[in-house]
């Protein structure tokens, strides 16, 4: 797999940029409009030393290389591809329409209206994204200013989290507390069943810890 392409900017055409490596190979990489705009705004010196993270899609009739300036964008892209009806082109439209952190906030708030404004995205598709990705892609609280994306580690306890959200608690806050409690009480919870762990988490969260 091609993890990244390192080289100099050699031009662009629509959604594709061209990167010339030191070995003389020039790659055509499809990227989001936001990333392309960022590359074009760089100085000549910065353009001569680019590292583009990539995702390769190998089809029977083509090998397509998609590029990203940041790892959170690539993670978001690959998760979007898991949604039925979302292909690489539509996934790039999402990343072209808004920054990753804005997309994740829209998912977390179930903001169908905002997501529906993405080109090619109707209300039904927006709802599908929310249902499938809201609890998978989240902002890392420690990296939120950078739009850090993490896989949700507490997904096993989603029903418990949903219950507290219905009681008026903030989803992100509850999720972080569940992760913290699981980590801090790893030895205490070792060997216990999921039901016993959920009981412990519920009682501890109710107490406000």
pLDDT digits (tens, 9 = 90+) for 47-97: 999 999 999 998 888 889 999 999 999 999 999 998 888 999 999 999 999
Instruction: Please tell me whether the overall predicted TM-score, pTM, comes out greater than 0.85 for this model.
Output: no
Q: Enumerate the domain spans of the chain.
A: 1-69, 71-151, 155-206
Question: 163 to each of 135, 167, 174, 205, 209, how far by Cα in Å?
Answer: 14, 7, 10, 11, 16
> What kind of architecture, by CATH, is found in domain 71-151?
Orthogonal Bundle (1.10)
Ranges under pLDDT 70 in the chain: 139-155, 209
pLDDT of residue 108: 83
Show Cβ contacts of residue 18 under 8 Å, excluding neighbours closer than 6 positions: 9, 10, 11, 12, 26, 27, 28, 29
The neighbouring-strand residues paired with 28 are 18
Percent of the chain that is helix, strand, coil (3-state, to 5): 50, 20, 30
Tell me the residue ranges of DSSP E strands in 14-146: 16-21, 26-30, 50-58, 63-68, 137-139
CATH H superfamily, domain 1-69: Nucleic acid-binding proteins (2.40.50.140)
pLDDT of residue 140: 64
pLDDT of residue 85: 86
Secondary structure (3-state) at 149? strand
pLDDT of residue 193: 86
Closest CA to 50 of 34, 73, 29: 29
Query: Would the CATH topology of 1-69 be identical to that of 71-151?
Result: no
pLDDT of residue 148: 53
């Amino acid at each position: 797999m091609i993890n990244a392409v390192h080289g100099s900017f050699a031009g662009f055409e629509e959604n594709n940029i061209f990167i010339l490596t030191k070995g003389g190979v020039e790659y055509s990489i499809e990227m989001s409009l936001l990333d392309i705009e960022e590359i074009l705004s760089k100085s000549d010196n910065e353009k001569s030393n680019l590292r583009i993270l990539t995702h390769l899609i190998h089809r029977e009739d083509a090998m397509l290389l998609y590029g990203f300036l940041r790892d959170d964008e690539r993670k978001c892209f690959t998760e979007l591809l898991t949604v039925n009806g979302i292909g690489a082109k539509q996934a790039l439209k999402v990343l072209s329409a808004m920054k990753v952190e804005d997309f994740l906030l829209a998912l977390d708030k179930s903001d169908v209206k905002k997501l529906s404004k993405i080109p090619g995205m109707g209300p039904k598709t927006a709802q599908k994204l929310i249902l499938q990705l809201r609890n998978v892609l989240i902002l890392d609280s420690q990296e939120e200013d950078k739009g850090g994306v993490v896989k949700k580690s507490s997904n096993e306890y989603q029903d418990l989290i949903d219950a507290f959200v219905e009681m008026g608690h903030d989803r992100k806050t509850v999720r972080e507390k569940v992760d913290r409690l699981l980590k801090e009480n790893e030895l205490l919870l070792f060997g216990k069943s999921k039901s016993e762990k959920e009981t412990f988490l519920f009682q501890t969260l109710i107490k406000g810890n």
